[in-house]
């Protein structure tokens, strides 16, 4: 789950990429692509096409693009914390970024039900944001949800790939702003409580190195991206990693949790996490966490997660 805080949080530009397409389609072509994507089930190629359009919009500083690309339910993490659709549009306009090239590899698409799907991929970017060079490689994740005749992005996050044994990197300069808090109806509060209880159970099982408990709480097709930018592509990889002996943690704390329903059977929990202990000999740092849950009958199961090192106050 969590590891030592040893990486710079990547600039909250929407870094999307596809293997072959490097030229952004015009507005008409993009609209047709989105309409074509609204089939009963999205293919990996369709989602990559949408990812590419988003990447090119970020690259060209096209603020208008995000109005229809992002779902009204959108949540994510930005320069100062949790994002909603409005703040994400500002972040993803990429006004302070200059990107020369990008590439994608190791793409994986996972259905999350008839109206939602997850795509993960490794990206390499050559460019700068805010005058600082972008991390060369990152792992990114996006959740798409179907809204009428189109697929829209409802979540995005990415973690730079770094060496856990490397010297900690100084965080990027903090942008002006504040974390976005959602106004939640009472039923959303109940969902938050339910998913947070499950999330705490998973973190405690990780703390205890208990692979059996972790196995029972997670879906068969789960994936995970940790704060080192390591992508654990299968359940077997994740259970081996989480139940290993690299971390010695006494207690964990999950706070500021918010749940959002993407469909009747798919929800996301975003939260702040901290732990009293060490990983690989270093003190555990604060984390911004995101976990996707899928409902199977009456039971919620943890399906995907990505953790980012939280930006320290005042940085």
Lowest pLDDT segment from 26-35, 86-95, 106-115, 216-225:
26-35
Residue 281: C-alpha distances to residues 124, 199, 248, 310 (Å): 29, 25, 9, 19
Q: In the predicted model, what is the mean pLDDT of the chain?
A: 82
pLDDT at 5 over 70: no
pLDDT at 106 over 70: yes
Q: Is 127 in contact with 98 (CB distance < 8 Å)?
A: yes
For the segment 69-74, the average pLDDT, to the nearest whole number, is 97
For residue 246, name the pLDDT band (cuts at 50, 70, 90). Answer: confident
pLDDT at 116 over 50: yes
Distance in angstroms (rounded) separating the CA atoms of residues 138 and 229: 6
Q: Looking at the chain, list the stretches that DSSP marks H as alpha helix, in order from N- to C-terminal side.
A: 27-37, 44-59, 66-69, 85-92, 186-207, 211-217, 235-242
Lowest pLDDT segment from 7-21, 30-44, 105-119, 207-221:
7-21
Residue 113's pLDDT is 79
Fold match, 27-160 / 186-309: yes
Q: Find all residues with CB under 8 Å of 115, minimum gap 6, and list them.
A: 145, 146, 262, 263, 266
User: Which is it for strands 218-225 and 299-309: parallel, antiparallel or unpaired?
Assistant: parallel
Residue 130's pLDDT is 83
Q: What are φ and ψ of residue 232, in 5° steps?
A: -95, 100
3-state secondary structure of 97: strand
Please state the domain extents for the chain.
27-160, 186-309
Residue 187's pLDDT is 56
For the segment 197-204, the average pLDDT, to the nearest whole number, is 97
**How many Cβ atoms are within 10 Å of 288's Cβ, its own excluded?**
24
What's the fold here for domain 27-160?
Nuclear Transport Factor 2; Chain: A, (3.10.450)
Residue 281's pLDDT is 76
Ramachandran region of residue 124, left (φ > 0), alpha (ψ -120 to 50) or beta?
beta
**How many Cβ atoms are within 10 Å of 286's Cβ, its own excluded?**
17
What architecture is the 186-309 domain classified under in CATH? Roll (3.10)
Residue with more model confidence, 63 or 168: 63
The pTM score is 0.83
In the chain, the percentage of residues whose pLDDT exceeds 70 is 78
Q: Is 206 in contact with 214 (CB distance < 8 Å)?
A: yes
pLDDT at 94 over 80: no
Q: Is 117 in contact with 107 (CB distance < 8 Å)?
A: no
Residue 312's pLDDT is 60
For the segment 106-125, the average pLDDT, to the nearest whole number, is 92
Residue 175's pLDDT is 45
For the segment 181-195, the average pLDDT, to the nearest whole number, is 72
For the segment 264-278, the average pLDDT, to the nearest whole number, is 94
In the chain, the percentage of residues whose pLDDT exceeds 90 is 54
Residue 118's pLDDT is 97
Give 276-306 pLDDT, tens digit per residue: 998 877 788 899 999 999 999 999 999 999 9
Residue 121: C-alpha distances to residues 11, 160, 195, 224 (Å): 17, 12, 26, 12
pLDDT at 181 over 80: no
Distance in angstroms (rounded) separating the CA atoms of residues 262 and 154: 7
């Amino acid at each position: 789950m969590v590891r030592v805080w040893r990486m710079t949080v990547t600039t909250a530009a929407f870094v999307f990429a596809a293997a072959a397409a490097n030229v952004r389609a015009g507005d008409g072509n993009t609209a047709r692509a989105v309409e074509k994507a609204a089939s009963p089930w999205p293919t990996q190629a369709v989602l990559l096409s949408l990812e590419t359009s988003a990447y090119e919009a970020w690259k060209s500083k096209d603020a208008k693009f995000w109005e229809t690309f992002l779902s009204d339910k959108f949540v994510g993490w930005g320069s100062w914390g949790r994002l909603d659709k409005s703040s994400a549009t500002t972040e993803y306009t990429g006004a302070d970024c200059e990107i020369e090239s990008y590439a994608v590899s190791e793409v994986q698409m996972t259905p999350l039900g008839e109206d939602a799907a997850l795509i993960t991929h490794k990206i390499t970017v050559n460019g700068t944001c805010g005058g600082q060079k972008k991390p060369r490689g990152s792992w990114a994740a996006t959740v798409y949800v179907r809204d009428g005749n189109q697929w829209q992005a409802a979540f995005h996050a990415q973690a730079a790939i770094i060496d856990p044994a490397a010297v900690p990197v100084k965080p990027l300069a903090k942008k002006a702003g504040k974390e976005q808090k959602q106004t939640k109806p009472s039923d959303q509060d109940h969902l938050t409580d339910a998913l947070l209880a499950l999330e705490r159970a998973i973190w405690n099982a990780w703390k205890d190195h208990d692979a059996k408990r972790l196995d029972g709480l997670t879906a068969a097709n789960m994936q995970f991206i940790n704060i080192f930018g390591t992508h654990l592509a299968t359940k077997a990889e994740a259970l081996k990693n989480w139940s290993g002996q690299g971390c010695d943690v006494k207690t964990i704390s999950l706070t500021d949790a918010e749940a959002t329903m993407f469909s009747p059977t798919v929800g996301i929990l975003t939260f702040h996490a901290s732990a009293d202990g060490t990983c690989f000999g270093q003190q555990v740092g604060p984390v911004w966490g995101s976990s996707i849950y899928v409902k199977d009958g009456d039971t919620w199961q943890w399906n995907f997660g990505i953790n980012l090192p939280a930006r320290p106050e005042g940085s």
